[in-house]
Amino acid sequence: MTTLRELVTARAASSPHRCFLADARSERSFDFAMLRAAADAWCRELDAAGVPPSARVLLDIADPLTFCAVHLAVIAAGRCSVPVDPAAPPAEAQRTRRALRPWLVVSDRLAVPGMRVNPATGMPADPTGHVRAAPLQAGALSDRRTGSVALLTSGSTGTPKTVTLTERQLLHAARCVVRHHELSAMDRGFSPLPLFHINAQVVALLATLVAGGTLVLDRRFHRTGFWQLLVKHEITWVNAVPAILSILALGSVPEVPPTLRFIRSASAPLPAAARERVAERSGVVVVESYGMTEAASQITATPLRGGHPPGSVGRPAGVQLEVVGPDGRRCAPDVVGRVRIRGESVISAYAEGVAAERFDAEGWLDTGDLGRLDAEGYLYLAGRRDDVVNCGGELVYPGEVEEVLLGEAAVAEAAVADRPHGVLGAVPVAWIRPVAALDGEQADELVSRLRLRCEQQLSRVKRPVDFRIVASLPRTPTGKVLRRRLRELPLADTRVPEASLL
């Protein structure tokens, strides 16, 4: 099965009434026969609307089940799916549509500004009505832009760049996830992550389809009742991000489903303390992974069994990876350098031709990340190259400092970024979110403990010159800390009100 249409057809033929998608908080579900009907109906609908093969179809859909069905159907119908954030304000959504210039917009918003809207007829793919969260609306735009890709999206680090991925790349990445996670038709995954990001699209949705299993979707993560949901739906694996695991690590685990095999963490570095607490309290493996949109999601992952070295994000899973120095030569084990990748799922250029210097003639892509490989091939990330603090010519890697800070039991989250310095150029500053509310005296005590911890475990240049207690850290929807926004956080008061803490 080399195409998504062939895969959908095969699943519908072998297991037509097996549940493929389920809503975590209702009885709504979607089986493989309905998915096949969706693909066929959308193909007819797009043909009738005159949408050319590979043309862009922008998906502005909030309902998770509806999004998944339409997203897969559009790709299976030979068009290019362009998912966007359905929670974006209308003005931002309109700017996005102007920039991407899709042929067609599909939305479950009541009104779509700046778009000619056809009469709402509901989703043509669902005669039973199980997936209709709201009437779908489609409007043809004047510009016609086609391409040979199945998915168009943007990365979540650095300056946004348009990433185009082919159907073959998406399926290859999904198969790598299935192999590494040992997914099968008996698995029931749980994902509360935003579906307009590559992680949920490939790791959760497409990998589940490849495996022939079931995916339970939640609109967003809720701490209250989380474990009970897993028990109710007999979940075997969870697709999460470090922010979710950090929250789960603070609470009790009332009941763990006996079916649960592992919890997967992706999209940002996972604090070792959070991983250990969740693994200990749940009794299941926490798989750490590293990925990026340019590789159609997963790059490395830790093993399902046997353990792995602390601080590592695992070994390559489906791609080639190397760490190189300034001269482009491979670094010796445990030497920090630039992380490069290549492989079937890795793009060879950005859509606009920007950042061409990140690609070389041999197919290597410079990820923009810094890291080191140990003698066993495990990768340890040191941070983004743009995030490194150049302190008087000495390079300070935020990840190393954050790992030390997170070793303090009272710290829930930590982020390190630079502050300009007249002599040294830049110095490191730490932003800390505590696990509980602090008054002024308690905040001062925590800062004193953190200073002592850094003095004991870090060389002088790596020690933060300032510690700022905050209620939350600015993050992307997938959990990455937005370091450039840290400096905008209020600094006047280090006391954290109780209501502002998770």
The pLDDT value given to residue 160:
59
185-208 tens-digit pLDDT: 999 999 999 999 999 999 999 999
Average pLDDT over residues 274-288: 93
The pLDDT value given to residue 110:
57
**Beta strand 389-391 with 394-396: parallel, antiparallel or unpaired?**
antiparallel
Question: Within this chain, do residues 15 and 112 fall inside the same structural domain, yes or no?
Answer: yes
Question: Within this chain, do residues 230 and 119 fall inside the same structural domain, yes or no?
Answer: no
CA 414 to chain centre: 19
Alpha-carbon span 81 to 51, nearest angstrom: 12
The pLDDT value given to residue 130:
31
Average pLDDT over residues 409-421: 89
Say yes or no to pLDDT of 397 above 70.
Answer: yes
Alpha-carbon span 231 to 240, nearest angstrom: 17
Q: How many structural domains does the chain have?
A: 3
Last residue of a domain, one of 386, 411, 434: 386
Q: Which of 260-264, 305-309, 486-490 has the lowest mean pLDDT?
A: 486-490
Instruction: Identify whether the C-beta of residue 137 lies closer than 8 Å to the C-beta of residue 118.
Output: yes
The pLDDT value given to residue 155:
60
SS3 sequence of 261-294:
CEEEECCCCCCHHHHHHHHHHHCCEEEEEEEEHH
Report phi then psi at 369, rounded to 5.
-100, 155
353-364 tens-digit pLDDT: 788 899 999 999
First to last CA, the chain: 45
Q: Does residue 46 fall inside a structural domain?
A: yes
Compute CA distances 471 → 241, 428, 438, 476, 489, whole Å. 19, 20, 10, 16, 10
Question: Within this chain, do residues 392 and 363 fall inside the same structural domain, yes or no?
Answer: no
Structural domain that includes position 240: 168-386
Q: Does residue 94 fall inside a structural domain?
A: yes
The pLDDT value given to residue 90:
76
Q: How many CB atoms lie within 10 A of CB 107?
A: 25
The pLDDT value given to residue 48:
83
Higher confidence at residue 494 or residue 108?
108
How would residue 222 be classed by pLDDT, with cut points 50, 70 and 90? Answer: very high
Helix (H) or strand (E) run with residue 229 in it: helix 226-232
Question: Within this chain, do residues 124 and 237 fall inside the same structural domain, yes or no?
Answer: no
Alpha-carbon span 150 to 57, nearest angstrom: 10
Say yes or no to pLDDT of 183 above 60.
Answer: yes
Closest CA to 217 of 19, 24, 477: 24
Alpha-carbon span 377 to 372, nearest angstrom: 9
Q: Which of 49-58, 158-167, 324-333, 419-428 has the lowest mean pLDDT?
A: 158-167
Say yes or no to pLDDT of 153 above 50.
Answer: yes
Compute CA distances 318 → 40, 170, 289, 315, 343, whole Å. 31, 12, 12, 10, 7
Question: Within this chain, do residues 45 and 175 fall inside the same structural domain, yes or no?
Answer: no
How would residue 156 be classed by pLDDT, with cut points 50, 70 and 90? Answer: low
Say yes or no to pLDDT of 142 above 70.
Answer: no
The overall average pLDDT reported for the chain is 85
Question: What CATH number corresponds to the domain at position 307?
Answer: 3.40.50.12780
Question: Within this chain, do residues 310 and 394 fall inside the same structural domain, yes or no?
Answer: no
Say yes or no to pLDDT of 494 above 80.
Answer: no
Question: Within this chain, do residues 456 and 469 fall inside the same structural domain, yes or no?
Answer: yes
Cβ-in-10-Å burial (0-12, 13-18, 19+) of 280 comes to exposed
Question: What CATH number corresponds to the domain at position 419?
Answer: 3.30.300.30
Q: Does residue 465 fall inside a structural domain?
A: yes
Q: Does residue 328 fall inside a structural domain?
A: yes
Closest CA to 189 of 171, 172, 174: 174
Alpha-carbon span 309 to 315, nearest angstrom: 11
Question: Within this chain, do residues 393 and 317 fall inside the same structural domain, yes or no?
Answer: no
Say yes or no to pLDDT of 483 above 90.
Answer: no
Helix (H) or strand (E) run with residue 238 in it: strand 237-240
Question: Within this chain, do residues 346 and 392 fall inside the same structural domain, yes or no?
Answer: no
Question: Within this chain, do residues 344 and 396 fall inside the same structural domain, yes or no?
Answer: no
Instruction: Identify whether the C-beta of residue 407 lies closer than 8 Å to the C-beta of residue 454.
Output: no
Q: Does residue 212 fall inside a structural domain?
A: yes
Angle, CA 229 vertex, CA 228 and CA 232 arms, to 5°: 85
Q: Does residue 153 fall inside a structural domain?
A: no
Alpha-carbon span 186 to 180, nearest angstrom: 16
**Beta strand 285-292 with 262-265: parallel, antiparallel or unpaired?**
parallel
Alpha-carbon span 398 to 295, nearest angstrom: 24
Q: Which of 96-105, 181-190, 220-229, 288-297 has the lowest mean pLDDT?
A: 96-105
Question: Within this chain, do residues 277 and 312 fall inside the same structural domain, yes or no?
Answer: yes
32-62 tens-digit pLDDT: 999 999 888 888 888 888 888 889 988 988 8
Q: Does residue 163 fall inside a structural domain?
A: no
The pLDDT value given to residue 500:
32
How would residue 490 be classed by pLDDT, with cut points 50, 70 and 90? Answer: low
Q: Does residue 225 fall inside a structural domain?
A: yes
Please report, rounded to a whole number, the percentage of residues in the chain having pLDDT higher than 70.
88
68-90 tens-digit pLDDT: 999 999 999 999 999 988 888 77
Say yes or no to pLDDT of 165 above 80.
Answer: yes
Question: Within this chain, do residues 121 and 32 fall inside the same structural domain, yes or no?
Answer: yes
